[in-house]
Each structure stands twice: as structure tokens, then as C-alpha cells.
Copies of this chain bind each other. A is one copy, B any other.
Amino acid sequence: MKKLFNVAVVGATGLVGRTMIKILEERNFPVGNLFLLASERSAGTVISFKDTEYTVEALMPDSFEDIDIALFSAGKDVSIKYAPIAAACGCVVIDNGSFWRMHPEVPLIVPEVNPEALNNHNGIIANPNCSTIQLMVALKPIEDNFKLKRVIVSTYQSITGAGQKGIDQLTAEISGEIPQQRASKHQIAYNTVFHTVSDPDGFSEEEIKMINEPRKILSRPDLPMVVTCVRLPILGGHGESVNVETEKSFHIQQLRELLSNSPGITVIDEPLVDKFPTPLDAGGYDSVFVGRLRKDTTVDNGAYLWIVSDNVRKGAATNAVQIAELLIEKDGLDFERKELIY
């Protein structure tokens, strides 16, 4: 009989949390008992999983005692406080927040890209940023075959990346109402906005994540990353306009075939008949869609890519569940209990 695992979803009522629950069901994850946890305010919410209704409970320090795997997507403060508590109980945390990602003892995993990094962990595993995940799935075969020399990215990010408050602001603005909650001081509908900037050099927090996380995931600590992140009134997924420069030369058709045969990637690249990936088309899928492949002849070995993926699924919930699957496959649920210093 298949072994079952007790799973907690922390932040179960949020956009990503709800999608995690849906994906556990879709992928028929071997769930024994399911625990849905959230803030006290959200406790009592009823969410169904495989035809059973579950009542969301308030997250408490003793919530993790019977849990094997906890998927966290409940904001930074919850990750800081509760991920170590859960790990101390022997529960493996897969955290969708940014706080733990760059910690040297926390693996940052995209299962198609660096599964080997999961071999050693201390109970906390980080799920990368949504824009990073889709970029990594598409760039990994290029790194392996041609070695990346410089990566230039401009993102076209769905407002769903700002969670429910982003969706609420957009929806209100579209219907001419005053938003009850906002993700940006600026209007989002019919506009472009940026993520929060707190860096004196002017990079947004999202841009800094997209510069640092790929370096860790690809074990290329000095990889030149050039990143501009833009948030848009779009739904379904994030787009990325990417230019790569590589050490080795390639033909564009070779790149197209390589990507077509790589895990997690679907190539849609028939621009002459108007076929290319779009965020709306990518919505609801787990693939990373790549198109608009073109040779960039301004450098020795250059290419253009247009990369799109569902930021809530592959960019967050699906990737987290895939990490949990990989963990089981690798028998990685036992770990050395060690307090991580942050």
C-alpha cells in the first residue's frame, strides 16, 4: 500500500494556499491527514479537498506535531516565526515566501532544474519566486548545453502576483469602483506599475530576487543577471522577454528542439501564423511556455526568448507540491534537526 503523509497548508485561504490544495488533489498527492491552517481571522473557513470539507484552523505553535510536510504561503512573518517551529517538530517546511530563499543552508528548488540540491536540508526548503521559477525551467537546458554568459530579462507580470489585494484593486478599477484594498498607490487597470523599491541603487525587491535566486539555483554565483520587473493588468501568468548570451554557439532551430525536448517546457513558436505563448493561454497549466525564439546577432551567441507560465501554479503552488513529491521520492523526510540562524 502506498505510504501516506500528513500535510499542512499554512495560509490555506490565500490565493496560493487554495491553489496548493487544488494541486495536491489534482496530482493525487499521497495525503494522509490534511490540515488547513491560517490566521485566526480566517479560521473557520471551509475548503473542500477530494469531496471532503475541511475547516481551516488557526495556526498555533503546536500545529505541526503530527505533520510530515507543511506547505507555507502565509507571508513573511509567518515564515520567519513558524517555519523553524515546524522544522523543530520534524516537519519538513516547503516555504513559498522569500525570507528563507537565500539562506545558505536552505535549498532553493525547481524540481526540473536542481533536484540534487534537495539532498541536504534542515527541515526548511524554499520555493523560488514565481518569475524565477519559469525563467529557470527555460534556461536550464541552455545553461547545460551552451553555458550562460549573461541573461537580460524584462518581466510582464500578472497582478495576481500581488495576491488577492492586487486582483481586488484591478477589479474595482475596471468597474469604476473605489478599491477596498490596494496593491499599488498607482492605478493598475490600463497601466504599468513596479514592485516596491527599498534598495538605494533603485532595484525593486522583485528584481533583486530575480538577480540572486537564479545564481543560487544554477550554482552560478557570479552569473550576470540584468533584470527589470513590471507589473501589469494581466491574468493567467507572467511573461518574460529574455535575451541570453552563451559561451557556446548554437543554431536557433537547435535551441528550439532542445527546449521542446526539455522537462516542463512547451514550445509554441509559429509567429507567422500568430502562434506564441500568452499569459491567458498559459493560465491553468503547469508548463513553462516558450516562444518568439530568435537569434540575437548583436553578440556572438545570442538568443531571444519569450517565456510564459501560470505564476500561481508553476510559479508557486505546483512547484511547491512538486518539491514535496521529489522529497518523498528521495526519501528526504528525515533530516538533521538544526536551528537555522537568520
Contacts and interface: CB of A to CB of B under 8 A. Distances in A.
A298 B156 contact: no
A150 interface: yes
A98 to B, nearest CB: 19
B243 A278 contact: no
Interface of A: 150, 152, 154, 156, 174, 184-187, 190-194, 196-198, 200-204, 224-226, 228, 230, 232-236, 239, 241, 243, 252, 269, 271-272, 274, 276, 278-281, 292-296, 298-299, 302, 304, 306
16 contacts: A152-B152, A154-B228, A186-B281, A190-B233, A190-B235, A190-B236, A191-B236, A191-B279, A192-B234, A192-B279, A194-B271, A194-B276, A202-B269, A203-B294, A232-B232, A233-B233
Contacts of A269: 202
A156 B271 contact: no
Given A191-B278, A193-B278, A233-B233, 4 more contacts: A190-B279, A191-B234, A204-B271, A226-B243
Contact of A226 (B192, B293, B296): B296
A138 B302 CA distance: 26
A259 to B, nearest CB: 14
A226 B276 CA distance: 19
What is the oligomeric copy number? 2
Contact of A304 (B187, B228, B271): B228
A233 B234 contact: yes
A230 B277 CA distance: 12
A129 to B, nearest CB: 18
Nearest to A207: B294
A228 B280 contact: no
A186 B274 contact: yes
A304 B226 CA distance: 9
A173 to B, nearest CB: 10
Q: 9 tightest A-B contacts by CB? A: A224-B298, A197-B271, A154-B154, A154-B241, A190-B235, A202-B294, A228-B241, A191-B280, A192-B239
